[in-house]
Amino acid sequence: MNLLGKKKRAQSWFDERFGISGIVKFLREKKIPQHKHSLWYYTGSAIMLFFVIQVITGFMLVFYYNPTLAEANKSVGRIMTEIPMGWIIRSIHSWSSSFMIAFVFIHLLSIWITKAYRKPRELTWMSGVFLLCVTLAFGFTGYLLPWDDLSLSATKVGTDIPRSIPIVGVWVTKLLRGGEDVTGDTLTRFFGFHVCILPVFIFILLAVHVYLIQKQGMSLPLAVESKKEKIQELPFWPNFVYRESVVWLILLGILFTVAIFLPPSLDKSADLMAPAPEGIRPEWYFLFLFQALKIFPAKILFINGDTFIVILILVEFLLFFFLPFLDNKPAEMKGKFITFLAYVTIVYAVVMTVWSLL
């Protein structure tokens, strides 16, 4: 039997067991609409690319990281100074998390503005909002792991925020910290969240999200759909995948270049007894919340300022989560107002972030 015959036999052997031909047929028949907003379709796969990089570099780092009070900072130091190319791996992990979160924000905002959450895609939107929360939780838990002064203080501030929630607040703070204050237990707990609990959540949510996207197909932006013209479509495989590959290559190039030339440094090990250092600042994606908390007055009427803003954030989050049900007729005046709110949110987040950095 020649080589081609052997290949065909191997293919049919696998196909009989896994049903690969069905998947290939589905990918060939899946169509991607082409219009002036098609660029946003690439943001989803960019997130997946950075997620895969996060998983691979995370596996590499976990072999050398030690999540104990005495060893956490030292082990990160060892990764950066003793392990061959360790500093690059850590830098790629750190930068790719920032890139991933940036793309999650862009992806969600593009869906908000193009109204892609409309019926029947309500659950796709909701699973996406959950994915945003899990991604931010990854960033928050990962920030403490180097165990330096800045990460300790930022975690103290961050875990203290839920305390302002009425009734359950104190309990949530204790659950996050593993006690009354941020200690070695918090570090172990955060490591557990970062490498065990959150990955389980993200894999389940990703599976649901991707399944829903395949089930419902790609949405058309409201502006394009209302024109009622025939939209040109391209097959997912190979036409769209080739286009995505170009985007992936460019993003990979940028990520590697930034990671090599701007690696994150490591401060000395955190001292639990030391006072908080000046200029405590969370990661860039929490800065707009951090600044809002900073500038808010201590008391508003009879309510504590912190409690007020935390409740306000929770209400805003709930409105954001249930957006497909609030904006069920997006072409009407209410829909236009919600689009305007999306732009206001972008301006607010950018202004607050820049203000916090000044």
Partner 1 sequence: MMWKMKRLLVFSLLIFLLFSFFLLKLNFAQEVMEEEQNKITQAEENAEKIVPSPKDIKESIGIYVFVVWMWIAIIVLIYILRLKIKEVDRLFYIRFFSAKKK
Taking contact as CB under 8 A, which single stretch among the options 128-136, 192-200, 247-255, 333-341 is the one that binds partner 1?
247-255
Are 202 and 138 a contacting pair, CB within 8 Å? Answer: yes
301 near partner 1 (CB under 8 A): no
Torsional class of 178: left (φ above 0), alpha (ψ -120 to 50), beta (otherwise): left
Q: How far apart are CA 316 and CA 313, in angstroms?
A: 5
Peptide bond into 120 cis (omega under 30): yes
Non-local (6+) Cβ contacts of 4 within 8 A are none
CB-wise, 248 or 321, nearer to partner 1?
A: 248
| Shortest distance (Å) from residue 246 CB to partner 1 | 5
CB-wise, 263 or 305, nearer to partner 1?
A: 263
260 near partner 1 (CB under 8 A): yes
Selected from 19, 22, 120, 238, the binder of partner 1 by CB under 8 A is: 238
| Shortest distance (Å) from residue 255 CB to partner 1 | 11
250 near partner 1 (CB under 8 A): yes
CB-wise, 242 or 343, nearer to partner 1?
A: 242
CB-wise, 214 or 245, nearer to partner 1?
A: 245
Selected from 10, 20, 246, 312, the binder of partner 1 by CB under 8 A is: 246
Are 182 and 155 a contacting pair, CB within 8 Å? Answer: yes
Report DSSP letters for 78-112, one per residue.
HHHHTSTTHHHHHHHHHHHHHHHHHHHHHHHHHHH
Peptide bond into 238 cis (omega under 30): yes
267 near partner 1 (CB under 8 A): yes
Non-local (6+) Cβ contacts of 258 within 8 A are 95
275 near partner 1 (CB under 8 A): no
Element (H, E) at 161: none
DSSP state, residue 228:
-
265 near partner 1 (CB under 8 A): yes
Q: How far apart are CA 317 and CA 299, in angstroms?
A: 22
273 near partner 1 (CB under 8 A): no
3-state secondary structure of 33: strand
Taking contact as CB under 8 A, which single stretch among the options 3-11, 98-106, 266-274, 318-326 is the one that binds partner 1?
266-274
| Shortest distance (Å) from residue 261 CB to partner 1 | 8
Selected from 43, 44, 47, 90, the binder of partner 1 by CB under 8 A is: 90
One symbol per residue from 183 to 202: x for binding partner 1 (CB under 8 A), - otherwise; what is it? --------------------
Q: How far apart are CA 80 and CA 37, in angstroms?
A: 42
Selected from 192, 264, 305, 335, the binder of partner 1 by CB under 8 A is: 264
DSSP state, residue 256:
H
358 near partner 1 (CB under 8 A): yes
Non-local (6+) Cβ contacts of 273 within 8 A are none
The site for partner 1 (CB under 8 A) is made up of: 77, 80-81, 87-88, 90-91, 234-235, 238-239, 242-243, 245-246, 249-250, 252-253, 256-257, 260, 263-268, 278, 351, 355, 358
